[in-house]
């Protein structure tokens, strides 16, 4: 099975947090947090459509400038999500530069910035040609957990506590369509862009009794969608990828995180300190590797990647990893 999403941390575990999630079947990506992203190629950065920021401590948001620098002058809609005060933080960043001359750009770059509160969202748009001055007053919408809903996947969040509101994120694929290549060949068809349309039809709830036309080179063949699905596709549960960065270890965080990331295929979770330094972790509102592992085990995630290690452990990354994995295995058995 080829996964639809290929998450990877942009940097090593001691460097700035950022989880880049490119789409396997599309030239597109989303990103969780924007720490230093210089090691991400411009080609990859330009794939990003949606940006989810856990909180605006510098190590999670300094990459905003790099991203903006690359998209400037392009025809693009960028969607940014962040916690309380996010609109003020983005406006502060934009106010840090001079924008005369941008009115000459012919392409239209728009930033759609959404601030996430416990039960509502505030959205404001910024158009590059208008010198990024806010386009209108902010718009308020009621909200519960879901930040983004597309036919094939959603991104969900919870407001967590890190001495300030901090967002945890989960990307959930609705279901996964596996194409059986031999069956495609058996019908005399070739692998091609029509498969993307076929998947789209399934995600868009197209009537299974409706006609689906396969255009494959010069060939055109008509099928009943439901019949074709039975013959060439295997539908399996979708992927679930979760990201938790910068949280205090307390009851309400634990409960919220476990609910959000439950049964994830892959959880990326901060593990800043060793358990022996848990008093420091507590003071800084971070997790220890053991605490991160316990949460991952309780949530029954399938794969765990601890990251965001404190620089005090340089050269001892394996100890943080081991502590997290041991705690994860222990919690799985409970
Ligand atoms: Zn941090
Ligand atoms: Zn932080």
Q: Residue 325 above 90 pLDDT?
A: yes
What tens digit of pLDDT does each residue of 79-97 get? 999 999 999 999 999 999 9
Q: Residue 136 above 80 pLDDT?
A: no
Identify the nearest ligand to the CA of 16 by its number: 1
Identify the nearest ligand to the CA of 18 by its number: 1
Ligand 1: centre distance to CA 51 (Å): 17
In DSSP notation, 107-176 reads S-EEEEEEEE-SSEEEEEEEEGGGTT-BSSS-EEEE-SSEEEE-SSEEEEEEEEESSSEEEEEEEEESEE
Q: Which residues pair with 166 in a beta bridge?
A: 160
Reduce the DSSP state of residue 62 to 3 states and report it: coil
Ligand 2: centre distance to CA 332 (Å): 28
B/e letters for 182-217, b = 16+ CB within 10 Å, e = fewer, are eebeeeebeeeebbeebbebbeeeeeeeeebebebe
More confident residue, 334 or 64: 64
Ligand 2: centre distance to CA 34 (Å): 12
**Residues near 200 by Cβ (< 8 Å), separated by ≥ 6?**
151
Percent share of the chain, pLDDT over 90:
88
Whether the Cβ atoms of residue 271 and residue 334 lie closer than 8 Å to each other: no
In DSSP notation, 214-230 reads EEETTEEEEEEHHHHHH
pLDDT value of position 191: 87
What tens digit of pLDDT does each residue of 274-313 get? 999 999 999 999 999 999 999 999 999 999 999 999 999 9
Identify the nearest ligand to the CA of 165 by its number: 2
pTM given for the model: 0.95
User: What value does the mean pLDDT of the chain take?
Assistant: 95
Identify the nearest ligand to the CA of 160 by its number: 2
Ligand 1: centre distance to CA 11 (Å): 13
Q: Which of 215, 127, 209, 117 is nearest to 167 (CA)?
A: 117
B/e letters for 7-19, b = 16+ CB within 10 Å, e = fewer, are bebbbebbbbbbb
Whether the Cβ atoms of residue 240 and residue 253 lie closer than 8 Å to each other: no
Ligand 2: centre distance to CA 243 (Å): 14
Ligand 1: centre distance to CA 57 (Å): 6
pLDDT value of position 116: 98
pLDDT value of position 302: 98
Task: Please report, for residues 1, 25, 194, the alpha-carbon distance to residue 18 in angstroms, rounded to integers and kept in the order given.
Answer: 26, 22, 33
More confident residue, 187 or 266: 266
In DSSP notation, 230-290 reads HHHEEEEEPPEEEEE-S----HHHHHHHHHHHTT-SEEEEE--B-GGGHHHHHHTT--BHH
Ligand 1: centre distance to CA 56 (Å): 9
Ligand 2: centre distance to CA 55 (Å): 7
Q: Residue 216 above 80 pLDDT?
A: no
Identify the nearest ligand to the CA of 162 by its number: 2
Ligand 2: centre distance to CA 52 (Å): 15
Ligand 2: centre distance to CA 214 (Å): 50
Q: Residue 193 above 90 pLDDT?
A: no
Q: List the single range of 10-24, 134-148, 262-276 with lowest mean pLDDT.
A: 134-148
Whether the Cβ atoms of residue 167 and residue 55 lie closer than 8 Å to each other: yes
Ligand 2: centre distance to CA 222 (Å): 55
What tens digit of pLDDT does each residue of 222-255 get? 999 999 999 999 999 999 999 999 999 999 999 9
Ligand 2: centre distance to CA 98 (Å): 29
């Amino acid at each position: 099975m080829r996964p639809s999403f290929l998450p990877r941390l942009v940097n090593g575990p001691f460097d700035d947090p950022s989880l880049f999630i490119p789409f396997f079947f599309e030239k597109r990506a989303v990103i969780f947090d924007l720490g230093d992203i210089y090691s991400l190629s411009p080609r990859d950065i330009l794939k990003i459509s949606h940006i989810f920021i856990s909180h605006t401590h510098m190590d999670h948001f300094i990459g905003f400038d790099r991203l903006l620098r690359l998209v400037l002058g392009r025809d693009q809609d960028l969607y940014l999500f962040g916690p309380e005060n996010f609109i003020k933080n983005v406006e502060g960043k934009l106010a840090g530069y001079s924008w005369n001359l941008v009115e000459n750009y012919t392409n239209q770059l728009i930033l759609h910035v959404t601030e996430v509160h416990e039960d509502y969202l505030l959205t404001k748009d910024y158009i590059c040609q208008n010198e990024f001055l806010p386009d209108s007053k902010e718009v308020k919408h009621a909200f519960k957990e879901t930040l983004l809903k597309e036919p094939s996947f959603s991104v969900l969040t919870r407001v967590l506590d890190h001495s300030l509101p901090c967002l945890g994120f989960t990307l959930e694929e609705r279901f996964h369509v596996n194409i059986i290549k031999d069956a495609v060949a058996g019908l005399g068809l070739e692998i091609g862009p029509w498969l993307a349309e076929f998947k789209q039809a399934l995600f868009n709830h197209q009537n299974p009794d409706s006609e689906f036309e396969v255009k494959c080179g010069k060939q055109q063949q008509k099928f009943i969608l439901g019949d074709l699905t039975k013959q060439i596709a295997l539908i399996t549960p979708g992927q679930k990828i979760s990201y938790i960065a910068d949280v205090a270890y307390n009851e309400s965080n634990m409960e919220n995180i476990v609910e959000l990331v439950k049964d994830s295929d892959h959880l990326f979770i901060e593990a800043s300190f060793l358990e022996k330094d848990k008093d420091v972790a507590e003071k800084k509102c971070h997790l220890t590797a053991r605490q991160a592992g316990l949460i991952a085990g309780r949530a029954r995630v399938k794969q765990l990647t601890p990251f965001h290690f404190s620089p005090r452990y340089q050269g001892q990354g394996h100890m943080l990893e081991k502590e997290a994995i041991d705690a994860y295995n222990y919690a799985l058995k409970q």
